[in-house]
Amino acid sequence: MVSQLVLTKRYHPATREFLRRAAALGEVRGARSCYLHGGFLGGELATAWRLEHGALLDLGPHLIDLLDEAVGPVVSIRGTGDPRRWIELTCEHANGAVSQASVSGAVRLPGVRTRIELFGTENELVYDTAGIDHEECWPVLRREFAAAVRAGRSGALDAARGLRLQELLTRALD
């Protein structure tokens, strides 16, 4: 069976360029990141599921996935705060780096803010989704899913990746 996660940001060319540059970066020692918006305050994103479970389960997988890929595998994660309002995550990575992630869908902002800053032995590397066209993700996702189906095997963003992210999110709430 073929599986493919819809971690939409991973299918955007700007995200792929960031991850390529992160892999080529020198030693990453720390990172700051956020995924913030006001969608849970009202409108079509303020669904019962999101209001009950909050941003950690909705936005968290996207941000943790990117940190895990850009900084290195997350080996420890701790969360503090209320996922329905604001949650702060501290991740320790296999390479010794530490990252922070701020996640909320309940803050008033002019638009979605997704940002990752990597710091280490080389110049900082910044990923910011401000100004990118989110619609560029969908053709890539459809093309890669069709290719996976034709080949009969999943890509890197498969059910195993989803399980890993779910385990990390569960640990963040412990």
- Per CATH, the number for 26-134+158-173 is 3.30.360.10
Report the distance separating Cα 18 and Cα 52, nearest Å.
Answer: 33
Spans of all domains in the chain: 26-134+158-173
pLDDT-above-90 percentage for the chain: 81
Report the distance separating Cα 144 and Cα 150, nearest Å.
Answer: 10
Angle at 20 between CA 15 and CA 26, to 5 degrees: 125
DSSP secondary structure letters along 80-105: EEETTTEEEEEEEETTS-EEEEEEES
Asked if residue 71 lies in contact with residue 90, where contact means CB atoms within 8 angstroms, the answer is no
Of how many residues is the chain composed? 174
What pLDDT is attached to residue 1? Answer: 75
The model's pLDDT over 84-141, given as tens digits with 9 standing for 90+, comes to: 999 999 999 999 999 999 999 999 999 999 999 999 998 999 999 998 998 999 999 9
Asked if residue 100 lies in contact with residue 88, where contact means CB atoms within 8 angstroms, the answer is yes
Tokens describing residue 73? 């595998």
What pLDDT is attached to residue 96? Answer: 97
